[in-house]
Amino acid sequence: MTNATQDLSHDAQVVAIATSLLAALKEPEFGLLCEAFDAIFDLFLLHPETNLTRLASVPELHRLREAAKTYARERQAELDRADAHARWLAELPSAADLMAQVSAAGDRFEFEGYTLWPENGGWSLTNAYGVDNCAFLSVKGDFEWLLDSVRRGEDLGPIPPYCQEPDDDSPDSRESRFEACLDAASDLLGRLCPQERTIGVPAVVGFDAEDLFSLSLNARVESALMWLRVTGGEVGSEAFDRHRAKAWAFAARAGYLHPEASLPNLLRDDTELEEAWAFGVGVRQSERRATVEELERVRKGLESERLIALRDWCALGLPTPEALFESLRCGERVSVAGHGVWLEDGVVWYENPYGQDGALGSDLKPGDLVDFLGDMARGEEYGPVPY
């Protein structure tokens, strides 16, 4: 991530975000993702209106950006309170000045919630809760003690139970930042790499042990109980259906949770149990393939956006805007990501992969072709498509 103190252009913001995430997603790991999101959080603090349209493959960024805005408001509020407190401290009188003001007041003197009353050559103190004789002040040192208590925010004297201030449970802004980065990392990792996912084939209700032996044994027991119903002429009964369904559920769950294991002996020589096991294994393998595909899709999307922002058309397998413009100006028909592009009577035309024509615009300059090339790099198709 570039220095967070720099003012980054939109393209530079995309490059910074994509680079951070790509590094963390090379070998997805929670700690690395947290660090990446923390660096991106810094960027959002500097650029709270970062456009995330081109980073739609990582929706967690939207929540992180909103969290950064909230964090900035909280931090500013904390700073404002600190500044106000510092000004208040600076405006407090010295012990000598306070003693002089109290002496000049005569009858009574109000100070930061306290009331001082003249008494026996000094002053008695009533606190903010109306409790009298909380202290007796007569010399400069006594007033310094009072000022120290005020500076520290301490209440002198007894405090009625119902006047106790509640604990401040409001989250520290630093905690809100930490939690936002943790949540983003957890959500992204859970979406792209759910290695511990165990919901594709539901657990058997009321059964907690999910080791391979326990699941296989229970599948075999339920299958045996089902066959007892068969021998008893109860095929299709409620009990028969219940045992059959449980046998399938146990065997399928075993295959789903333990797809790397070979078919357990307890499930062999029973067609339905073997089929249930194979079904569970297939569901888990399908989920893993989908996970790999989704992770690769996100990686590819981030890399494409990074290269587009860097204008690295060569790495994207595309011509530069200048080269494309020059070819068009020379009357050539250029193929760009399955789209034929040509110049005719000052208008740049395209033909999409399905033979449908459309106009990119007239009197275009090389810079006007950047968006078109970016869309081609993203795999977008222009014009009408048959689906």
Domain assignment present for residue 20? The answer is yes
Which residues, at least 6 apart from 250, have a Cβ–Cβ distance to it below 8 Å? 204, 207, 215, 216, 218, 219, 222, 276
**Count of domains forming the chain:** 4
255 with 356, same domain: the answer is no
Which residues, at least 6 apart from 212, have a Cβ–Cβ distance to it below 8 Å? 254, 257, 258, 261, 264
pLDDT, tens only, 62-83: 999 999 999 999 999 999 999 9
From 310, 335, 367, the end of a domain falls on 310
Q: How confident is the model at residue 168 (pLDDT cuts 50, 70, 90)?
A: low
For 79-112, b where at least 16 C-beta lie within 10 A, e where not — what string? eeeeeeeeeeeeeeeebeebbeebeeeeeebebe
What residues make up the domain containing 354?
312-377
Which residues, at least 6 apart from 73, have a Cβ–Cβ distance to it below 8 Å? none
Cβ atoms of residues 266 and 290 within 8 Å? no
301 with 236, same domain: the answer is yes
Task: State the pLDDT at residue 190.
Answer: 86
pLDDT, tens only, 278-325: 999 999 999 889 888 999 999 999 999 999 999 999 999 999 999 999
For 256-280, b where at least 16 C-beta lie within 10 A, e where not — what string? bbbbeeebbebbeebeebeebbebb
Domain assignment present for residue 35? The answer is yes
Domain assignment present for residue 39? The answer is yes
56 with 179, same domain: the answer is yes
